[in-house]
Amino acid sequence: MKLHEEDPRLTAYALGELPPGEAAAVERAIAADPALRAAFAETEEMRQGLVEALGGETERLQPRQRDAIRRAACEAARQGKVENLSSHRQARRTWMAPLAAAAVIIGGIFLITLFPKPSGTGGTKPVTANNDPVKGGGLEGQPDQGNVIRLPLKASGKSLSQIMDAIRGEKRMPTKGEVRISEMLNSFPLKANGAVALWDGCKLGAEILPSPWKPSGSLVIVEVQGAKEGARELSVEYRAEEGVVIGHRLIGYASEKSDQKAQPLSEVAANSRVLLVIEVESRDLRLGSLHWSVGGKEAPPLPLVREPEREPSDDARFASLVCAFGLWLRGEGGGMIDEEVMLALAREIASDSLVADRFDFLNLIDEAAKLPER
């Protein structure tokens, strides 16, 4: 399919008005053309801004997004890679208001001036699930400086056991305070199977995949591993690509403004591993870079560039499922993650060869979906 930057099918795709076959073709065209990706990012940004201005919800899962998830799950089913996971409730979401959809189509030219592009000199504004730290809510305050996020390098794994106790033992949905996504992620031996950098015995890895709940976004899986020889003082920060990245957030952490300029050093134990996930929305494939140091000595930065043709690893896909489940349990999916989406993502990952702890996690998702309303 050949598209140009002002093709009306881009707007129709953003509004979820295309049939599945045509939507899939538009999606492939966007992935292959940087100019189309930039045009689509502007359309998405304008649509969200208009809905917010009209008092509607800023992000709702659209038909094209559901179709993409269902197509992936069906393809996995045809290949015999899935186990049945069922839901006992109907999705009860109300999608984007028709008024907002009509206004986007009619007022597209006007909106170009109403919602200007971000300045290339001012950095990017972090997008967070909650901009205020939640007392006991699992969102640890994490300082950022405009287009920089300093990454925490310590995480335990207690949250998942609390979630299991609530769902299986007490037959209830866990509270926000019990759902700490960073701890959930680090309950599993996950790796970032992409670019790797080594420095003074330590390892920094990154893998990038499309966000399963936001087609215009990417997930950066970051893995930090300590040296075999002993503990090291490390610091790692994410720097967004200025003028390109529209928004970013460290999943599971709240954003706090800070004037502190120096990176804090964290002691990373020998052979320890920490996994983090950053959600990035960008105008093209450049997402920024990871900057790090060991023992106060700066290591070469690790650039972050998404490769559309690269298939994500099983670890990355599972990490994205853990994040989606955590956001859903906390009610912070922005309307993009509901019960139906959660079960579709779980079906895509399920297989007979799945290791025991991951298979048990899929069962936990299914059990949570059967609980009464929160």
- Virtual torsion, Cα 227, 228, 229, 234, nearest 10 deg: 10
Residue 256 has pLDDT above 50, yes or no: no
Query: What structural domains and CATH numbers belong to the chain?
Result: 8-114 (no CATH), 140-337 (2.60.40.10)
CB 163 within 8 A of CB 123: no
CB 252 within 8 A of CB 138: yes
* Tokens (6 digits) for 102: 């009509």
Crossing angle for the helix pair 314-330 and 356-369, to the nearest 10 degrees? 30
Which of the pair, 269 or 44, is modelled with greater confidence?
269
Distance of alpha carbon 280 from alpha carbon 251, whole angstroms: 10
Give the pLDDT band (50/70/90) at residue 279. Answer: very high
* pLDDT tens column, 58-80: 445 555 555 666 555 555 555 55
Best CA proximity match to 246, nearest among 19, 15, 49: 49
* pLDDT tens column, 180-189: 999 999 999 9
SS3 233: strand
Please compute the mean of the pLDDT values over residues 35-49 and round it to a whole number. Answer: 76
* Tokens (6 digits) for 145: 């400086």
Q: Which residues contact 248 (CB under 8 A, 6 or more apart)?
A: 124, 126, 127, 147, 149, 238, 240, 278, 279, 280, 281, 288
SS3 89: coil
* pLDDT tens column, 219-245: 999 999 999 989 999 999 999 999 999
* Tokens (6 digits) for 189: 């031996």
Give the pLDDT band (50/70/90) at residue 92. Answer: very low
Give the pLDDT band (50/70/90) at residue 132. Answer: very low
What is the pLDDT at residue 146?
Answer: 65
Mean pLDDT (the chain, rounded): 76
**H/E element, 8:** helix 8-14
What is the pLDDT at residue 64?
Answer: 55
**H/E element, 142:** strand 140-144
Enter the DSSP assignment of 306: -
201 burial via Cβ count (<10 Å: 0-12, 13-18, 19+): middle
Which of 21-25, 103-107, 308-312 is the least confident region?
Answer: 103-107
Give the pLDDT band (50/70/90) at residue 30. Answer: confident
Residue 352 has pLDDT above 90, yes or no: no
* pLDDT tens column, 288-317: 999 999 998 999 999 999 998 899 999 999
* Tokens (6 digits) for 36: 């189309």
Residue 326 has pLDDT above 90, yes or no: yes
CB 364 within 8 A of CB 163: yes
CB 270 within 8 A of CB 158: no
Which of the pair, 240 or 37, is modelled with greater confidence?
240
pTM of this prediction? Answer: 0.64
Distance of alpha carbon 346 from alpha carbon 69, whole angstroms: 10
Distance of alpha carbon 264 from alpha carbon 235, whole angstroms: 6
What is the pLDDT at residue 62?
Answer: 56
- % the chain with pLDDT above 70: 69
